[in-house]
Amino acid sequence: MVDAGVIRRIYELSHPLNADTIAAPVSRPFELELTHPHAPFDDRTPVSAETILSGTDCMTVGTHTGTHVDAPYHVSRGRSALMPRSMPVPVVARGVLLDFPRHFGVESVDRELTPTDIDSCVASQGTPLRRGDAVLFRTGRDAAYATPDQFMRAPFGGPGVDSAQYLVGLGVSVVGSDTMPFEAVPSEEPLEVHALLLADQQIQIMEMLNLVEIAADGIHEFLFMMAPLRIAQGTGSPVNPLAVVMAPAD
Ligand SMILES: [Zn+2]
């Protein structure tokens, strides 16, 4: 499907993992320790400019820290409905970026996004949604990532229950946004969008996507790829989703 010769650009849709990585309130922060600092294979060897050195580090990261995907096991309706065997799964699909700040001509959109908003956005972009799409919501919050207080401050723009049902009806493969909670907050039914997508439909949710660059370039349609770590019984995984932009055919 993908000929390496026709790839024009690959966008990485994540924020880096470092000391400034923002964690969801229930997730542990990212830490990295150089547990075996760079040393020669045989540590009796004196180090010269030619000596080959290798180092190894250890990271601690909550599965909902930084850019990540929520697996269905993240949310359930009642304890008996938990799906202990679920783990996050990979997705390769047509990707559509819904760039709401550009569509509305504002810096950021901090309110519930309705099916009417989705329809008007895809119409203005010329990117009708299709079955199997990866649908990425940009609210503009990603531009505030370097300022954690601002990044984490409610209200959060995002889909409400009506839009979640609309996306389910379209048969999307995965959804995501540039905010911490994905769904609009506050709402009358907290976490209902999560329950509807994850628990009822097994549609994974990506959060804290970094869509700044791809939006600035005006790209709304691409080949989307996301491969989570295969964490058995994981409620999620850090991810570095990719948007692959192909060169137009000759
Ligand atoms: Zn999450």
| Distance from residue 52's CA to the centre of ligand 1 (Å) | 41
CA angle 13, 176, 238 (to 5 degrees): 60
5 alpha carbon to ligand 1 midpoint, in Å?
A: 35
What residues have CB less than 8 Å from 187, skipping those under 6 apart?
A: 112, 160, 161, 193
Measured in Å, residue 70 CA sits from the centre of ligand 1 at 5
Least confident range from 2-16, 55-69, 150-164: namely 2-16
For the record, the structure tokens of 145 come out as 């990532």
The answer to whether residue 232 scores a pLDDT higher than 60 is: yes
CA of 62 to the centre of ligand 1 (A): 10
pTM score, two decimals?
Answer: 0.94
Ligand 1 centroid from CA 156, angstroms: 14
Using one digit for the tens of pLDDT, what is the confidence trace for 2-56? 555 689 999 999 999 999 999 999 999 999 999 999 999 887 878 999 999 999 9
186 burial type by CB count under 10 A (0-12 exposed, 13-18 middle, 19+ buried)? exposed
For residue 235, how far is its CA from the centre of ligand 1 (angstroms)?
8
